[in-house]
Amino acid sequence: MNIHDAMTLLKEKGYKTTGKRKEILDYFSHADGYRTAKDLIQFMEKSYEGISFDTIYRNLHLFCDMGILEATELKGEKHFRIACSHHHHHHFICSDCGKTKEINLCPMDELEGALPNYIIEDHKFEIYGVCPNCRNT
């Protein structure tokens, strides 16, 4: 998802499109992979001294609920990234640096046949490990 589409979605759903929200979205649009709330607050404190974790978490969860951000858990902590919106795919996620690599195959192609008469509403498939850059350091 790009920033313009995200801001339009916020407006359509009745939310204010503040400078802070735009900066949060800009941060994630330039981040290479998943980032934590702590990463975001360190970035935001440069422009908004004293910004609270409540403000950060409230916006992160709003953006996830709206499909603007995706969330995963790495090492017991929630991590976020801008949502992919172009085509159906899954991710390899580096557990050290949070970078992602698209996986363009879906295990659901095989599993759907094993679930006759069930309605699958959604799914998520992630592989966790260490990327080549982190492995070599």
For residue 25, count CB atoms less than 10 angstroms from its CB and return exposed for 0-12, middle for 13-18, buried for 19 or more. buried
Residue 38 has pLDDT above 90, yes or no: yes
pTM attached to this predicted model? 0.79
Report d(CA 63, CA 26) in Å as an integer: 13
Q: Are 79 and 72 in contact (CB under 8 A)?
A: yes
Residue 104's pLDDT is 86
> Domains of the chain: which residue ranges?
3-82, 90-135
Q: Dump pLDDT digits (tens) for 49-99.
A: 999 999 999 999 999 999 999 999 988 899 999 988 767 788 899 999 888
Report percent pLDDT > 70 for the chain. 99
Determine the 3-state secondary structure of 40 from DSSP.
helix
Cβ atoms of 45 and 53 closer than 8 Å: no
Residue 37 pLDDT: 96
Query: What is 90-135's CATH superfamily?
Result: Ferric-uptake regulator, C-terminal dimerisarion domain (3.30.1490.190)
Class of domain 3-82: mainly alpha
pLDDT mean over 92-116: 86
Mean of pLDDT over the chain:
91
The mean pLDDT value for 111-118 works out to: 85
